[in-house]
Amino acid sequence: MIYLDNAATTRTAPEVVEAMLPYFTENYGNPSTIYSLGSASKKAINQARKTIADSLGANMEEIYFTAGGSESDNWAIKAAAEAYASKGKHIITSKIEHHAVLHTCQYLEKHGYEVTYLDVDRNGIVDPEQLKAAIRPDTILITIMFANNEIGTIEPIAEIGAIAKEHGILFHTDAVQAFGQVPINVDEMHIDMLSSSAHKLNGPKGIGFLYIRKGVKIRSFIHGGAQERSRRAGTENVTGIVGYGAAVELAMKTMEERTRKEIELRDYLIHRLETEIDHCWLNGDRVKRLPNNVNFSFLFIEGESMLIMLDMKGICASSGSACTSGSLDPSHVLLAIGLKHEEAHGSLRLTLSADNTREELDFVVDSIKEIVARLRSMSPLYEDYLKKRTI
Amino acid sequence: MYSEKVMDHFQHPRNVGEIENASGVGTVGNAKCGDIMRMFLDIDENGIIRDVKFKTFGCGAAVATSSMATELVKGKSIQEALQVTNKAVMEALDGLPPVKVHCSLLAEEAIHAALWDYAQKNGIEIEGLSKPKSDISEGEEEEEY
C-alpha cells in the first residue's frame, strides 16, 4: 500500500503509541483525584500541555484540550461570537475554510450574526487589503485558516494577525493542517485563538486543542466540572493528551529535516505529473504551500473514478469531486479559486509523508498516467475535445 | 460502498466505445454535476438493437450503470429497450448507494435520448417515448479547453 492521504489523517507514530500505553493500564487514575495515581495522570497532562505551549510560543494556561479540530473551531467561533455580541455581530472569514468553520458561521448567521466570506485569488490566497476593506465597527472576529486542507496554500497569517490587532479584533486561525508542518508563533503572528488536531501530525484521533490567548473572554463550551480551567468540562482524555504531547515533541524535533524531505518529494511528484500528462495543472500556490500537499486537476475525467482505480493499485488518495463529497457540488475550495465545475470534478489530492520514497512516487505517477489515459478513452468530453481539435 | 457487480462493471465496463454512423446517439447529464453519458445504438431494419456502445464521464457508479444499461438493451427490440428503467439497471447491479441513484436515472435517460435521436433521423414516432429533457447536445454550447 502507498499512503498519500496524510491530510486526511496520519499513521500514529510508534513512539506516540508507546508513550500512551502506560496511561491505559497502569496510570489510569482520574487527574482530578488527590491520590498519587491521579497525580501521575495530572502530571502527564501538564507535561503535554507544556510541550504544546512551548511549540507555539504560548503559555501552558493558554492550551485547552478538546476532542479535535472541529470542536476547537466550533468553540472558538461560537463562544467568541457570544462573548463579544455586545460589541457587534459581524464576523470575517474566507470562502475556503474547512466546513467546521463555514458551517459554524452559517449557524451564527441564522442567529442574527453577519458573516463576510472573503474571496481568494487563483492560488487560494486571501488578500489582506480585501480583509481591511471588510472590517466594520461591529466586526468582532476574524477567522482565517493557516493553511488549506485541499490545495495546501499557506495564508499570510502574520499579516492578517497584524491587521486584526491594529483594529482590536479577535483573530482565530484553524491551524489543523499547518501545525507541525510550518513554524507557528502565536505572539509574532498576533494569533488570539488557534485550533489543532493531533491525528494530522502522527498523534491519536479524537484529541485536539484550542489555544486561547490570556485575556480573551470566551465562554465555556462544555459545562460541568473544573477541568481545563472550567472552560471545557469532562474528565480529560489522558491517553490522547499524552499521545498529543509525544506527537508534538516528535514533530518539532523532526520538522526541519522532515519538511525538507517532503518538499523534495512533493516537487518531484509535481514535476513528473505536469511534464508527463497533458491537460492537467497544479492547484494552489507553488511556494506558499504545505510541504506535503499536491493537488492536480485532470481535464475530461472525474475524481472518484480515479480514486477507485488508484485504490485497486494500492494507492490511497483523495479528490474534490462531487461524488466524494456526497453532494452534487464539487469542493467549495476548488470553486473558490475559480475552477469550473468539471475542472474541480477532475481533481486529485496527494498528501505525502516523509516516509514515502521516490520509487513509490514513480509507481504512483505511472499509475496515474495509465488511469488518466484509460478514463479519457471512455470520456465523451475527451472525444468532443479531440473532434473539435481536428476540425 | 459499491456492490461487487458495480465494481465488476466499473473495472471491466462492457461495450465501451463509439459506433461510427450510429442509428442513434444520445448524450445526457452535464459536466457541472459531474456525470455525462453518451450512448450509441446500431438498430437494424427490424428495429432490433444490434450493437450498443457508450462513453461516460463520471464516478464509478456512472460508469457501471452505463455499462449495465448497454448489456440490458443489446439484442433487444426498441420497445423492450424502453422498458429498461433505472430501477432495472440498479437491480441488475445489486443496488447502488442512495447518493448514486441519479446515475441510474442518467443511464435510463441515455437510452431514451439515443432512441429519440434514432426516431428523429428516421422520421418515425416511437410509442411511449417523449423528447428527453437532459440531452446536452441541444443545450448550451460546450466550452473550449
Domain count, chain B: 1
For residues A155 and A147, give the distance between their C-alpha atoms in angstroms, rounded to a whole number: 6
Distances (CA, A) of A6 to A66, A96, A201, A308: 21, 19, 9, 18
Q: What is the pLDDT of residues A38-50, one digit of tens each?
A: 999 999 999 999 9
Partner residue facing A341 (CB), from B32, B55, B99: B32
Residue B130 domain-assigned?
Answer: no
Q: What is the pLDDT of residues A216-259, one digit of tens each?
A: 988 898 999 999 999 999 999 999 999 999 999 999 999 999 99
pTM of the model: 0.93
Task: Write the CATH number for B15.
Answer: 3.90.1010.10
The domains located in chain A, with CATH, are 13-251 (3.40.640.10), 255-390 (3.90.1150.10)
Residue B69 domain-assigned?
Answer: yes
Residue B131 domain-assigned?
Answer: no
Chain A, chain B: beta-carbon pairs less than 8 Å apart: 81
Residue B46 domain-assigned?
Answer: yes
AA identity, residue A180 = G
Write out chain A residues lying below 8 Å of B58, CB-based.
302, 305, 323
**Nearest residue of B to residue A384, measured between CA atoms:** B142
Q: What average pLDDT score do residues B120-140 get?
A: 74
Instruction: Check residue B32 and give its pLDDT.
Output: 75
**Nearest residue of B to residue A327, measured between CA atoms:** B99
Q: Which domain holds residue B52?
A: 4-122
Residue B116 domain-assigned?
Answer: yes
Q: What is the pLDDT of residues A345-388, one digit of tens each?
A: 999 999 999 999 999 999 999 999 999 999 999 999 999 999 99
Q: How confident is the model at residue A311 (pLDDT cuts 50, 70, 90)?
A: very high
Phi-psi region of A279 (alpha: psi -120 to 50; beta: other; left: phi over 0): left
For an interface test with B, the pick among A297, A301, A302, A343 (most B C-beta atoms closer than 10 Å) comes out as A302
Shortest distance between the Cα of B9 and any Cα of chain A, in A, equals 12
* Coil vs helix vs strand at A123: coil
From A173, A248, A163, select the one nearest A204 (Cα to Cα).
A248
Q: How confident is the model at residue A292 (pLDDT cuts 50, 70, 90)?
A: very high
Contacts 24+ apart (CB under 8 A), A109-116: A113/A81, A113/A89, A114/A89, A114/A90, A115/A90, A115/A91, A116/A90, A116/A91, A116/A92
Partner residue facing A299 (CB), from B11, B56, B145: B145
Instruction: Check residue B31 and give its pLDDT.
Output: 76
Residue B144 domain-assigned?
Answer: no
How does strand A347-351 pair with strand A63-66?
unpaired
Residue B135 domain-assigned?
Answer: no
Q: Are the C-beta atoms of residues A24 and A335 closer than 8 Å to each other? A: no
Residue B140 domain-assigned?
Answer: no
For residues A270 and A365, give the distance between their C-alpha atoms in angstroms, rounded to a whole number: 10
The full DSSP string for A360-371 is HHHHHHHHHHHH
Judged against a pLDDT cut of 60, whether residue B45 lies above it is answered with yes
